[in-house]
Each structure stands twice: as structure tokens, then as C-alpha cells.
Amino acid sequence: MASQQFDLLVIGGGITGCGIALDAALRGMKVALIEKSDFASGTSSRSTKLIHGGLRYLKQLEFKLVRDVGSERAVVHRNARHVVIPEKMLLPIVEGGSLGKLPTSLGLLVYDLLAGVKAEERRKMLDRHETYKAEPLLNTNGLLGGGLYFEYRTDDSRLVIELAKSAYANGALLLNYAQSTKFIYDSTGKVTGATVTDHNSGNSFDIRAKVIVNACGPWVDLLRKEDNSLKGKRLQLTKGVHLVFPYEKLPLKQAAYFDVGDGRMIFAIPRDNITYVGTTDTVYNESIDSPNCTKADADYLLKAINHMFPSAGLQLNDIQSTWAGLRPLIHEDGKSASELSRKDEIMVSSSGLISIAGGKLTGYRLMAEKIVDLAEKKLGRKHTPSTTKNYRLSGGEFKDEDDFTNSLKQFLAQGEKLGIAPQVVSRWFYRYGKNVQQLFEIYLSQSKHANATELTETQYGVKHEMVHTLSDFTIRRTGNVFFNYPATKSQLPFIATAITSLLNLPEEAKTQQLSRASSEFEMVVAFKH
Ligand code: FAD
């Protein structure tokens, strides 16, 4: 990276930065991307993990946002089929709630129409009895009915990784644990590069590029300040937390989206062995690097969930893990956290630095298209239309639904021959898609090992997904800490040994990784105690 001149340097390896890197690489630009920590370690691993149009933005009359983001759902689903799964949602309608029966029915209809939803996935309205049948844990007090509609569930950090791998496959160079610390300017004041610290080696080097994009999410304004261009629009960070419960503590039949009573709505989403609940939306002015879930956040969500599903009787010590993320929103005078628009915003400084913030996971591709169009202009290149709309991400190279279903069947059959349990093959398939073939090849070389499947996945992570630490693997490549903490805990020493030996790190690196991970996980499970 230090020895070349790039067309585009992207700073920030969340969904926004990785989306931009892919679009630009596909249009033939020479691209570098740096990420100060791990890919997706910022907001992009801490969302509600939905590819959704944002039903609640209809209440705020943000029709264009709902249409743009809503219709993107099908695109993201098609291009990353293995990590974007249709999810049926139940919207209960209750007496005194912010959504009446008729407005909900109309709202969901408008939502479907704006987003161009397929006929079989259109909303279905339910009466009181049908709603209760759909979800027997619901509070029947004041229950009037409900609506069933479709969204998509994803694993946000896996989506980012698949994007990063796709960008790399198309010629972009990407580096995690590399932080931009200072901008470099030419004699006219134009930004021409950045000085970067490689946290793995401790070395610093310069990267030169004709166009530089600041895609640092909640950190966007820190870089604008560094560029002396923090004027006009500014970020307003708001925090959102999620709580994870063992599935048997909140055994919902499908995901639910419901009123909290203060004008806000929250999700409860069952997934494998857990159900997670979120989110909150509070103004945040503390450390950007370490947002976490406070007892007040947990109490707020517990109260809401126990009101909607009283028989669950959830308590603080039922919480298995938590995560907290920061929304990089644009400040608007006089508006509360949840009233701030989720629209994205592009800011170009007099030095030429392009900054992008706001937006949604779901709309990443449209944001990337706008940024790369702008970069093309700055580079003085002829316009080439973005091709990401029909570009299948790494692992998601399925022709159609039949190919998807048949691929899973074939992998299960292949796995059986190799002696890999079907649950493991299926889990791998929904993580790595068609790349499961590469995991099988790694497995063949160590099938005799007592922990062969765990070793295979760890090796795949180190060799193909730039895993450097225990947290990279257990939080962002697999989600195991959030979704399967009890089982993951016992495997940590083994995984740390595998990672450090694959990376040829000294023995003390293993101890360091274990202690760093244990303090990170302590934050994640703070309410266990
Ligand atoms: P980030 O993911 O934060 O990435 C920025 C990156 O820049 C970070 O990884 C950081 O380490 C890096 N960085 C910072 N400074 C430097 C530097 N100096 N050098 C190098 N790298 C640097 N959207 C949806 O579509 N669906 C949802 O369900 C959803 N739920 C959400 C729930 C919550 C609680 C929150 C907070 C957001 C949610 N969103 C959702 C919104 C979505 O998650 C964000 O819009 C998106 O993840 C922002 O991505 P980003 O890449 O812009 O920022």
C-alpha cells in the first residue's frame, strides 16, 4: 500500500467503507481501504441485524427513505442470499398503542407498495384471535389484532466481511488494524494521502491517493476535525442496545415489532438458541470506542418486553449477552434522538476530503454508488454505471432460489461423507455460502483432530478473512459470543492457540489475546452477574 498511488483511499471498514471499496473496484479504480480495528468492529456489528425498510419512518413521513431502502431489501437478499434471510414479523395492535388497526393496515400496505414487495410476501392483517394464535406469549390485555409482514434478517458483520472479500477479489487492497492518524496535503491544500499506523507491527507508513473518503461512521467528525473542516453539519450520536436471552426464556414463534408506550417501537427476534431484543435510542456523548449496555438500558428493555410478553417474566440475570452500537446521525436542532432522520449525508471539504455518515446497513449499496459517482467526477473519469445491483457477494454466487436450495443439499451430502454433522454444515452454509467448499478442503487436511470442525473454521478465518484476534473470530466472523456464549466460553483457549500459532505469534500473544477477549466479553455479559 505504501509503494503505490491509489485512485481512492477509503478510511473505515464498516458496511459503508467496504461497500464503497467494492463499487469502486468493480468500476476499475485502484482502491485501498484501511480500518483502525477489525472490519465491522464499529456500528456495523452492533445493529438490530435486519435488512429492513424502516416501517417506523412512515410515521415520520419519510416516504423516499422507505421506498429507497425498502426496495433495496430484495437486492441485498439476492446478492448475499446466504446471510440475508426472509423473516416473518408480527406487529401486534394494542389499545392505546401508537398504531391503530386501520393506520397499521394502510401503513403496511404502503410499505409493501413503496418497497415493491412480491405478492406472496405482502402483509396479512389478523384479528385478535388469529394474533394470539400466532403468538401465544402475547399480553391479551388490550390486544386488538395484528399484522404479519416480511423483513430480512442478516448477520451485519458477516455481510461486511463478504463485501470486503468481494472488493479484494476485484483488486482492492484492504487492511484491518491500520489507523489513519494524519492527513497529507499538497502545496494547494488538497488532501493527497494519509499517514497510517499499523497496530499489528507498530509501524507507520503513508498511503497516497487521488481521492480520499472518510467512511468512519461515529468517528466521521474526528477525521473532519483533523481535516479542519468540522463546520456546518455535525454528527449527533445516539446509542442503541440489544439484550440476548436463551430461547427457552422467550420462546417466540416469530419475530415481533411492538410499541413500547413512549412513542418508540422495539424488535424481539428469535434466532437459533436465543431471542434478542432491541433497541434503545438515547443521545450519546461518551467514549466512541466503548459504548456498552447500562443497567438503565437493560431495565428499559426488560420493562417493555415483560409488558408485551408478561408470562416470560424476564429478569436481569436471564440476560445471556448484550451489545451496544452508536448511530452516526446528523444533528438537527430541537429533535429528539428517535426523531433524527436516518438519511445519509455526504460532506465535501475544501481540501477535497469526502465524508459520508448516517444511513442504514440496508442502503449501503446506494450510498456507495453516490460516493463512487462523486469520486469519478473528482478523478475526471468518464462515468461508468455502478454494477453492484447484480453483483453476487463472496459466498452468495447463487443463480436463483433453486441453486440456493440445491447447494445446501449438496453440501449436506458432501459433509455427511466427510463425517461432519449436518448442523455444522448448515451453520457454515448460512455463514460462508458457497465458500463452504473451501472449508471442506481445509477439513480434509485435519479430519483426525479432536476439534476438527472448530479448527477448520478458525483456519478459514485466519487464511481468508483476516482474523487476527480471538474477538475477531468469536464476535465478528461467527457471532458466537453474542449468540452462543455458554458454548463459546469453553473453546476460547483452544481457538486462541489455533489463531496465534497460525499467525506465528509468540506464546505471550495467546495470553494477551485471552485476557483482552475476557475483558471485552465481560462487557458483553455484564448483566450475568
Ligand atoms: P461503522 O460500522 O461504525 O464503521 C466505521 C469504521 O471506521 C469503524 O469500523 C471504525 O473502527 C473505523 N475507523 C474510525 N476511525 C478510523 C481511522 N482513523 N482510521 C481507520 N479506520 C477508522 N441499519 C439497518 O439497515 N438495519 C438495522 O437493523 C439497523 N439497526 C441498527 C441498530 C442500532 C442499535 C444501530 C446503532 C444502528 C442500526 N442500523 C441499522 C444502522 C447501521 O448499523 C449503520 O448505519 C451502519 O452500520 C453504519 O456503518 P458505517 O460503516 O458507516 O460505520
> DSSP string of 479-511?
-HHHH-HHHHHHHHHHHHHHHHHHTT--HHHHH
pLDDT at 19 over 60: yes
Distances (CA, A) of 139 to 8, 145, 252, 310, 425: 54, 11, 13, 6, 38
Residue ID of nearest Cα to ligand 1 atom 8: 42
SS (H, E, C) 228-241: CCCCCCCEEEEEEE
69 three-state secondary structure:
helix
Is residue 45 within 6 Å of ligand 1 at its C-beta? no
**Does ligand 1 come within 6 angstroms of the Cβ of 239?**
no
Q: Rounded to 5 degrees, what are φ and ψ at 217?
A: 50, -125
Instruction: Compute, in angstroms, the gap from residue 417 CA to the centroid of ligand 1.
Output: 41
- Alpha helices (H) in 135-264, listed in sequence order: 156-169, 220-226
Mind listing the pLDDT tens digit for each residue in 29-83? Answer: 999 999 999 999 999 999 999 998 777 666 666 677 777 777 898 899 999 999 9
Instruction: For residues 351-360, give the mean pLDDT.
Output: 94
Given a cut of 90, whether residue 207 has pLDDT beyond it is: yes
- pLDDT, one tens digit per residue, over 436-449 is 999 999 999 987 88
Ramachandran assignment for 485, one of left (phi > 0), alpha (psi -120 to 50 degrees), beta (any other): alpha
Nearest ligand 1 atom, CA 362: 25
Cβ 361 under 6 angstroms from ligand 1: yes
141 in the Ramachandran plot: left (φ > 0), alpha (ψ -120 to 50) or beta?
A: beta
Does the Cβ of 153 fall within 6 Å of ligand 1?
no
Residue 434 has pLDDT above 70, yes or no: yes
Residue 172 has pLDDT above 60, yes or no: yes
State if residue 214 touches ligand 1 by the CB under 6 angstroms criterion. Answer: no
CB 363 within 8 A of CB 388: no
Nearest CA to ligand 1 atom 24: 361
Q: What is the per-residue pLDDT across 465-513, written as a single tens digit (0 to 9) for each?
A: 999 999 999 999 999 988 888 888 888 999 999 999 999 999 899 999 9
**Nearest atom of ligand 1 to the alpha carbon of 217:** 53
Question: Looking at the predicted structure, is the pLDDT value of residue 529 above 50?
Answer: no
Does residue 84 line the site of ligand 1, with CB under 6 A? no
151 C-alpha vs ligand 1 centroid, how far in Å?
20
**Percentage of the residues of the chain whose pLDDT score is greater than 70:** 98
pLDDT confidence band for 526 (50 / 70 / 90): low
Q: What is the pTM of this model?
A: 0.96
Q: What number is the average pLDDT over the span 132-158?
A: 94
**Closest residue by CA, ligand 1 atom 51:** 14
Best probe residue, ligand 1, of 9, 33, 43 (max atoms within 8 Å of C-beta):
43
